[in-house]
Amino acid sequence: MRLLIVLMALCLSLSAAADGRMQRLGDLQVHYSAFNASYLQPQIAHASGLVRSGKLGVLNVSVLRDGKSAPAQVSGEVRNVLGHGQTLTFIEQREGEFVSYLAQFPLESREVLLFNLQVNGQRLDFNQELFPEP
């Protein structure tokens, strides 16, 4: 089951890289992807401790150093354009040498969300439009 989690995180990281959702922070490559939690397969959501809901989003962050997965200190917040937001609580997922960090957040309406992250003490900001599903 954990292998499914790792494969999901790896696919999301690769998808994020293909979409250009990667930023360099010093010697780190930080890949990130935010999506609606309803896209999670039920068994993957359960195994990773996430809630599968159309009214929740998921942020997946993975960090590479020298082309290899690297552990990191990841924290942050998400807010809407009006400034309303919340602190993100990340769950570390490990399988062998692969590490990813997952956090959930509410999706109240179709809107652009502003993500402000700290990865090993370095700031990473990005915006993404997300929307709830019924």
Q: In the prediction, which pLDDT does 8 show? A: 53
CA–CA separation, 31 vs 17, rounded Å?
6
Q: In the prediction, which pLDDT does 6 show? A: 45
Q: In the prediction, which pLDDT does 134 show? A: 82
Q: In the prediction, which pLDDT does 17 show? A: 43
Task: Return all residues near 83 (Cβ < 8 A) that are at least 6 apart.
Answer: none
Q: How many CA atoms lie within 13 A of 125 on its CB side?
A: 3
Q: Which run of H or of E encompasses 75?
A: strand 74-80
59 near 102, Cβ under 8 Å?
A: yes
* Total of domains in the chain: 1
Maximal CA-CA distance, the chain: 42
Task: Return all residues near 122 (Cβ < 8 A) that are at least 6 apart.
Answer: 25, 26, 28
* Residue 74 burial (C-beta neighbours within 10 Å; 0-12, 13-18, 19+): buried
What domain range includes position 34?
19-130
Q: In the prediction, which pLDDT does 97 show? A: 92
- In tens digits, the chain (134 residues) has pLDDT values of 554 444 455 454 444 444 559 999 999 999 999 999 999 999 989 988 999 999 999 999 999 999 999 999 999 999 999 999 999 999 999 989 999 999 999 999 999 999 999 999 999 999 999 999 98
DSSP H helical ranges for the chain: 2-18, 42-48
CATH number at residue 77: 2.60.40.3340
Q: In the prediction, which pLDDT does 95 show? A: 86
